[in-house]
Structures are given as structure tokens and as C-alpha cells.
Structure 1
């Protein structure tokens, strides 16, 4: 569930801790700090042209995408805008109240507005040309901020997503795995079972956030941009959804722009959009700064690429998987401990007791690795499968074979003592439960 920030305390602006200094690029860099509504102090940098004169200039606050890379991640974009005469604030995203498993878009929106107020009070900023620039996850946050404050005079987004974070994440997994040459069960497992399980376990914050209602309430001028080679934001569908929401809300001052030859963050690409080069196009920020001065300005726009439809999720229907896996582990180890070495079923039983937890743990470790790298690093691909996944599938087949051997021999030896039959029966049930789990997670599928 989304946690909505309820703290209504007035924002307290802190004074800048260091003096401004001229950067070697011809820009002036000023370190600043400001305080969010919940008292968290945020630190940032304001970049301006070193020879800007006395006239007031437009200002933007830049919101980064998912994660917390720090203000340096957006420094190239900020410098490009500053060279075009825009006073630009970049800041370190909060760490208190924001992590890989906990985030609150409403709270992040309040942080952005706190930064905007800092710029508004600067003597070199024109409050009538003050807005937000947002990348990826930041573009889920920016419309919320725009709906709360008249200080936001315009929005510029890059790689905005028009669907829920869960659906977008699953779509991107499929996109990157297909690009790596991965086919078969693993893309389905990542797009469906893995995403649903993280939701059910409460590890996917804001998974069901629907951005469309917030966009429908935005009244400020909007420049929404996507790279033609964006492999993360479902650009075709997102551009249609966001543009449609703005139309339905009566916003007549919005521009939908698809930028040819660029990736998710509008950078140059040498890998058809599947890379993150630091290089900006030579004309970066030319159109954007002209648009700030005249939001009615338009430019030629590329067509978005064809893309598969993202999945739709309903949380809660896979929660049984986790409890089933835990049960399998407990029964497997219990079977290993209770079956004696001299039992006529000893060897198959021991193999099953060992293979079951090894396969389970190894599978979770590899899938966790794919989660951490957002499925962008798979390892060598053999027969349409990453080598680690292929080995896991072989382990799963061996585990099921051991389970069949245990079950077959158990049925043949009805002269076992009752206690022994119960113990080995539990281990046989473990094999059956493992097989169900392995099918669910794609290990026994092509």
C-alpha cells in the first residue's frame, strides 16, 4: 500500500553552507541544503551560468530515477541546462524513508516541492518560469508535486511510465532477457512469478501505483519525452496513456515528443538502447529550454517502437508459494535426518534430501541476482538459457528423478516398520511438493 505523507509542518529552508564558486566549465556551482516536510535535511547543488547577468532566469528542480545514485548522476544534464541559462537544482535523494523495499512517491513529491521553494526564493530565478524535470521514477513523483503547488509552472519528463511499477518492471525484464537471447521459461518466471512474489512478500513498494489519475489532474504545461530506443519505460504505451490522461483532464498545453537515436534517459546509445552511456546528444537541452520560454513550441517527433503488451498483476494469488517452499525445505532436511544409512531406501532418500534444499536455495540466489541487476546481466546463454539457469533446471530434473526413485522403492517395500514408512512417506511428499514448486517457478518447463 502507498503510504501518504501526512506531516503538514511548514518547510524550513536552510542557508547555503558554502559560498558559490566558479566551475571550470564556465558555470557557477553552489552547495545548498533544504528541509523536507518530515524534517529530513536534503543536500544539493545549484548550477547557473557564470555570466548570467542580473536578469532573472528560468529554474528547474531535477528528480532522478529509481535508486539513490546521488546528485552527480544528473550532473551532465544539469550542466547542459545551466549552460542554456536555466538555474538548475540537483540533490541527493533521501535515504530515510527511501530504500529498495520502501518508497513513498508522495513523500518524494514533498521533497521536490521543498527544493522548488528554495529556487523560488533565489533572486536570480524567475518564479513564473519555475518547474520540475523528472526522469523515470521521478516522473511518477512529479505529477503529484504539480497537483499540490502553484509554484510548479511546468513539467518536463524523460522516460515517464504510464503503467504501474509492477507491470513496467515485468515488461522491462522481458525486454532485456529477450535482448540477451534468453527464451523459454525464465522470462515468464521473472515477469510473473518473481514479480508477484515480491509483491506478496511486501518487498515491492508502490507496486500498484497508477500514474494516470495524477496526470489527468495536471494543468501546467507539460513536455513529456521518450527516447525512441527506450527499453525500460514502455514508451509507446506510456506516451499514449499520459497524453490521453492530459487530454481528458483538459490540459491543452502539452507536447509528446519521441526523440530519435536516444535511450531511456535521452542519452546517446551504442547498443540499440540497451546501454547507459554518459554521452549526451550534441543538441541536448536545446529544444527543452526553447520550450520553457514558449510551451506552444513543437518539433518533429519520431514514432515509438513496436512493443509487447505489459502484464497485469493482481497481488495475493501467489502467496502460497513461499509457505510451500518453506515446508519443502523443512521436510527435506527432516527426511535426511531421520532416514538411516542402512535403510533400503537410504541412497535415493539422501539424494533427495540434499538436492531439494540445494536447488531451492540456488534458484532463489540466482533469481535474487537477476532482481538486483534488473535482468540486465544474465551470464553466458546456452540453448536459449543463461548457463546458471540451465544448471538449475538440470538440478531440478535430478531432484525429481530422486523423488521418483524414493516413491517407487517405497511402494515396493511394504514390509518396512510403520515409523520408517511414515518417515519415507514424508520425504516422498517433499519430492511431490518440490515438483509442484519447480513447475511454478519454471524449472521443469522448456
Structure 2
């Protein structure tokens, strides 16, 4: 029966285009090209047998870092006297050394141009920046944060070996899912000098994604109680079926092992990661960090972009048909000035969060067993009907009409409700909209089927009382089992 649920999950994944929580480019993405004033050097580096391809972005020859002060100090903390491009020889005949930073992607099969805006911010501040394409074995069904963290550390090693980079000042930056990966990498190596996260979660991926989906459904008009049950059921099935990679990753233990200065940033209007909960966890758990800065960007979205509703992105470049969004005011300067100032500690007040996240309980053996038993007893009626016909037996047994309706409606409610809960997770909630009284149409249909099944169950119980039989008793048992299954799925709740 577990295989049947896996088939349902696979069918939903195939039928839903662009599945997943990550909304990003869907069209072809051209190679990264540095704008005027910057250069991009193509590089390759390895993590074990995996070859990664990236670009090192830095100031072009003759350019000085943005944010230079009257005293000749650049935003990156480098002396501007005699400074040209990173790696050029200064007037005194010595090579100018710059800080470096490796940018770690969020979710999805991301490539370099998707981090171009941040890369150019750091490069213009005199910070040598590495952006790279995500490893090829990353997909919706497989991801390993350990491998991704080691990819980032391989990038750190590459930057530390460049002649224009100060090896003691190479840090990591991680966006969204990178907010789990970059801290893991920092916890593994003292070669990482500092850590910046934007939209990083202090909760597990499964719990974080559930909170995100609840917000998405609520934004599409779905009632909060219905959204909560749909998401909890779908995520519980996904985790129980091992269809949500890294679902149980615990960021708390990682945060406790970080010994580098940390700048953690969240958008005030972040609806993908719980900003208040995450900020509180980062502040509480970064116990070994010498400097912790918790910053909140007013009116900003999850990825520190200008937004109107927390989900959309306004302005900025378009990459692969996707609007990347304009960087939120103050975001760029916040990061570069923090590095230039030597990683100071500043704590902002946490923002108001729409709802509190809830833990996800994976569907276990009992849940799968109940599903199997329910289908077995409901299907016993049509199976015995076929056997009766093969044996030449005719006639309608007592309670046949309500029994048939109970079987049909019960199977419809069970399969439709289960498949739709999986669909909600597989689609990232983007295709789930309220149709009536805060209920999605398919979910409402599953509830109607359930009501019909339970009504017929009462009639079957009366028929069984008058003329008990094994066959009728099996169908009645299916009606009884339908109640706890529907409760677990959320079909019986408001």
C-alpha cells in the first residue's frame, strides 16, 4: 500500500508543471556577463568527483571600490591609494589583497545569473566574489546539504588561493536554502572568516515549507483551518514517503557549532521562512559566535527584494522569464558595510509574524496501515460481487444500495483527499485557490463524498442490524475506519 501512495505522489508530480516551492526562472538563462566596471573570470573547481563551474566577479582595471571615504578607505576596508582592479599591483609594488565571498544559492537547480545582483554589489565594494552553478545531481527528489556545504567550502578554497584575495577574509553568503547550507559549511571549517544569511530558517525544512504553504494558500483565499490541515496532511505524507529530501535537517545543532561572526538578515514581509521565529533561534543558538548581528529589512520580501504582498518581486532584471526584483533599500549597504566595519554586532527587534509555525508529524506505519485496511475492506464489496456472479448467484443482498454508495463515495473521498493533499505540497500551493467558503473545489468535493459515505454508513448499519452478514459487516467496518482516516487527513475538520 505504501507503493500505491508512492504511485499517487509520482502521478501528481508528473501532472504538475513547475512543481516545488521554488518559483524561479523557467526559460533559458544566458551565461553570466559582468557589467561595466566589473570583470568575470570563468573558473572550475572540484568537490570530490563533482566539478563545479563558476565566475569570479571583481572590479575591472582602474576602478575603485564603491563607498570610498574621504580618508581613502573603501567599503571593503581596503586602502584605496594605488588601488585599481582586484589583483593589480599597487604603487608600492605589492599586490592589493581583498576580502572574498562565496555565494550559496537557494532552492532549485540554480545557476550563476540568479545571484548576479548580489555578486555585483559585493564586487563593486571591492570584495572578490564567487558565484557558481549548482551541482548537477541536485533535483526535487535528491539533495544533500552535506555535499552542498562541501561545494561551498571548495569555493572558499579557490578564493583563498587567488593572489588578490586575503585568505583570512573569505566568507560565505547563503540565501534561503543556502541559509541551511552556508552555516553548515561554516561550522565545518575555520577557513570561513564570516557568514551572512538572507532569509535563513531556524526551523527544519519540512516545518519551514509547511509555514510557507499555509501562507500561500491563505493568500489564495483558502481558510486558515483548511490550509493547515491540507498542508499538515500533505507534508506528513511527503516526509513519511521520503519524498521531501533533507526534511528533518536540524539547523540548531549547526548554529551552535559556528565560531565565525554572523550577519543574519530577514525581510519584514517574508512569507516563505518564519522571520520572527528564525531570528529568535539564530540569536539564541549562535552561542559560539564572537559577533551576531540580527537585522530586519522593513517592507522587504524573503530574498530582500521590493514586494507588494510578500510573495511577488517588483522591478529588477528578468532572468529566464522570471522577475528577479529590485534589491530592498539598504540591503546592499548593510552587507558591505558590515564586512568593512569588521563584523559589528547589532540586534534589531523581530518583526510581527502572520502565524506561528507548527511541527510536521510524518505519516508512519499506523497511518499507512490504516490506509491499506480501509481500501481493503471497502473493495471487499465489489470483489465479492464479482465472485457471486462467477458462481451464478443472483439477487440483491440486504443493504446493497447504501453499501454500494458507501464503497464508491468512501473510495472517492479517501483517494481524492489523499491525492489532493499530496498535490498541495507538490505544486507549492501556487495552484490551490478557494472556490467556496474558503474551500478548494477538489477538497470540497472530497468532503461531499465523505458526507455521502458516512450517511450511507448509517443505513448500512441499520441493514446489518436487521440482516447481519460478513459481506455487509466488512463494508460497515470500512465506514467506521473512514472516520479516523478522514480526521487524520483533515476532511472532517472545519
User: Aligning the two structures, in what range does the TM-score lie when normalised by the shorter sequence?
Assistant: 0.7 to 0.9
Q: Is the 8 A contact 1:157 1:225 kept in 2?
A: yes
Select the residue among 42, 66, 69 that pairs with 2:52: 42
Structure 1 equivalent of residue 371 of structure 2: 325
Q: What is the CA deviation profile of residues 251-274 of structure 1, one whole-angstrom value per residue up to 9, with x for unaligned ones?
A: 332211111111111111011x13
Following TM superposition, by how much is the alpha carbon of 1:424 offset from its aligned partner in structure 2, in angstroms? 2.6
**Matches of 2:458 and 2:312, distance apart in 1:** 46
Residues 1:79 and 2:120 are matched in the alignment: yes
CA distance in 1, matches of 2:157, 2:455: 65
- Deviation, 1:371, is 0.3
1: distance between equivalents of 2:450 and 2:342? 58
> What corresponds to 1:88 in structure 2?
129
Residue in structure 1 matched with residue 267 of structure 2 by the alignment: 227
Unmatched tracts of structure 2, length 5 or more: 1-30, 64-84, 89-95, 315-323, 389-393
2:32 and 2:446 mapped to 1: Cα distance? 56
Contact 1:331 1:426 in 2 (8 A): yes
Answer whether contact 2:291 2:344 (CA < 8 A) is retained. no
* Aligned-pair CA distance for 1:185: 4.2
Task: Judge conservation of contact 2:267–2:302 (CA < 8 Å) in 1.
Answer: yes
Which gives a bigger RCO, structure 1 or 2 (Cα 8 Å, sep 6+)?
2
How do residues 405-416 of structure 1 correspond to structure 2 at under 5 angstroms? Answer: 405-414=459-468
Question: Which of residues 259, 265, 268 is equivalent to 2:297?
Answer: 259
Gaps of 5+ in 1: 1-19, 415-420
> In structure 1, which of residues 380, 384, 391 is the aligned counterpart of residue 438 of structure 2?
384
Cα pair 2:377 2:478 within 8 Å, conserved: yes
Match of 1:268 in 2: 306
Q: Secondary structure at the match of 2:266?
A: strand
Q: Which whole-Å CA distance do the structure 2 matches of 1:364 and 1:173 have between them?
A: 17
Cα deviation digits, residues 32-78 of structure 1 (max 9, x gap): 322113x1222223322333521333221111123323333323322
Helix, strand or coil for the counterpart of 1:62? strand
Structure 2 CA distance for partners of 1:208 and 1:409, relative to 1, 3 Å: same
Change (3 A) 1:184 1:122: closer
Go from structure 1 to structure 2 and tell me whether the alpha carbon gap of 1:335 and 1:217 turns closer, same or farther (over 3 Å shift).
same
Cα distance in structure 1, aligned partners of 2:186 and 2:434: 45
Q: Is residue 2:419 matched to residue 1:365?
A: yes
Please report the TM-score for the alignment, with normalisation by the length of structure 2. 0.76
TM-superposed CA distance for 1:302, in Å, is 6.0
> What secondary structure sits across from 2:167 in the alignment?
strand
Question: How far apart, CA to CA, are the structure 1 residues paired with 2:373 and 2:301?
Answer: 45
Deviation of the 1:296 alpha carbon = 4.2
Contact 1:101 1:203 in 2 (8 A): yes
Distance in structure 1 (CA, Å) of the matches to 2:306 and 2:261 = 26
Are the aligned partners of 1:336 and 1:354 in contact in 2 as well (CA < 8 Å)? no
Deviation at 1:225, TM superposition (A): 0.5
Corresponding residue number in structure 2 for 1:429: 477
How far residue 363 of structure 1 moved from its aligned partner, in angstroms, is: 1.8
